[in-house]
Amino acid sequence: MSVLVSKNSKVIVQGFTGTEGTFHASQMIEFGTKVVGGVTPGKGGTMHLDKPVFNTVEEAVKKAGADVSIIFVPPAFAADAIMEAAEAGIKVIVCITEGIPTKDMIQVKEYLKGRDCRLIGPNCPGVITAGEAKVGIMPGFVFKKGTIGIVSKSGTLTYEAADQIVKAGLGITTAIGIGGDPIIGTSTMEAVQLLMADKETEGIVMIGEIGGGMEAEAARWIKENGTKPVVGFIAGQTAPVGRTMGHAGAIVGGAEDTAAAKMKILRECGVTVVESPATIGVTMAKILKKVVA
C-alpha cells in the first residue's frame, strides 16, 4: 500500500518544457515514476524527454490518463495551474512553486472545496513513495523502502529525517512535504491521518516549525485517534519573535507559535519529541524496538 502516489500513478508535469520542469521530470523518470507527459501551452503535439506535450491538463487527462500533476509554473500563474488541474479531474496536485501570492491561495482553497482532489503544497518538496514514485524535487537515492512515514513542513529536514530513518534500518513508506506557506493544501494533521491509515506504515515522523497551529492540531488528533508511534521535531528553537524564518509561514506571532510551546504540546499529546533531527532515526528504532544498524 502507498499514500498519495504509487507505481501506478500517471504523472504529468505542468511547466514541463521549462528549465525546472525539465530537470526534475528527468529525475522523476530516472527514479521510476510513471511520467506520461507534460503541459506547456502552445507546445502541444510536440515531444519532450520522449514524452508527449499537451496544451492543457484536460487534454493530458483524456489522452494519457493522467491522475497526478506536479506544477513548476511561475508564481503569477501557479494558482491558475492548480485550478486547471483540479477542473480537469487530477486527483493529486503537487505544487512546488514558491512565492505564490497569499490572495491567490485563498482563491485556490475556496475553489478546491468539495472537489475530489488533494493539493500538496505550494512551496513544498513534494511526495515520494520509496521504491515506487517520486513526485517532487527530493533526492530520490536517500529514500529506501521501509515502514516509516514522514510528514514535514521543511524540504531539507524531510531528506535528513529520511536519511536518519534509513540508517536506523527502518526505511520509508511515503514522505509528504506539505510546504511552509501560510496557506497550503494539506495540513500536518491531514497528512498524519493518511499515514495512520496506511497498513504498511508502522511509525510516523512529524517535522514542524515555528508559526501557525498545525502541529498542535495534529498532536491533539494523535492523542485522541493515534494508533502508531509518532516522533516529532520542531525547527526554529532559537528563532526571534516577529521575524519570518525561511518559510513565509514560519513566524512567531504569539506564545503558542514558539518551538518550545509546540514541543510541550506534542509531548503532552504523547508524541516523542527529539531536540535534534540527528536523533530521529535512533529514537524511532528504540520505540519500535528495532536493532539500529
73: nearest Cα among 81, 62, 64, 84: 81
Q: Looking at the domain assignment, is residue 292 inside a domain? A: no
CA distances from 141 to 3, 92, 164, 217, 282 (A): 19, 23, 13, 32, 20
Residues 279 and 142 grouped into a single domain: yes
Give ∠ CA 270-274-278 in degrees, rounded to 5. Answer: 145
User: The domain containing residue 158 runs over which residues?
Assistant: 138-287
The answer to the question of residue 265 being in a domain is: yes
One digit per residue, the tens of pLDDT, for the chain of length 293 reads: 579 999 999 999 999 999 999 999 999 999 999 999 999 999 999 999 999 999 999 999 999 999 999 999 999 999 999 999 999 999 999 999 999 999 999 999 999 999 999 999 999 999 999 999 999 999 999 999 999 999 999 889 999 999 999 999 999 999 999 998 999 999 999 999 999 999 999 999 999 988 888 999 999 999 999 999 999 999 876 555 555 545 554 444 555 667 888 999 999 999 999 999 999 999 999 999 865 54
Q: Closest Cα partner for 38 from 2, 19, 8, 66?
A: 66
Q: Are residues 196 and 111 in the same domain?
A: no
Q: Are residues 115 and 242 in the same domain?
A: no
104 within a domain of the structure (yes/no) = yes
Asked if residue 37 and residue 175 are part of one domain, the reply reads: no
Q: Same structural domain for residues 24 and 159?
A: no
Distance of CA 236 to the CA centre of its chain: 19
- Give catalytic residues, as residue numbers: 247
Assess whether 149 and 279 both reside in one domain.
yes
Whether residue 4 lies inside any domain: the answer is no
The verdict on 100 and 198 lying in the same domain is no
Q: Where are the beta strands (DSSP E) in 100-242?
A: 118-120, 126-129, 133-136, 145-152, 172-177, 203-209, 230-235
Angstrom distances, CA of residue 235 to CA of 51, 137, 194, 288:
40, 21, 23, 24
Are residues 147 and 278 part of one domain?
yes
Q: Is residue 126 part of a domain?
A: no
Domain tally for the chain? 2
- Identify whether residues 250 and 148 lie together within a single domain: yes
At 69, is the secondary structure helix, strand, or coil? strand
CATH of the domain at 83: 3.40.50.720
Cell 499514500, located at residue: 3
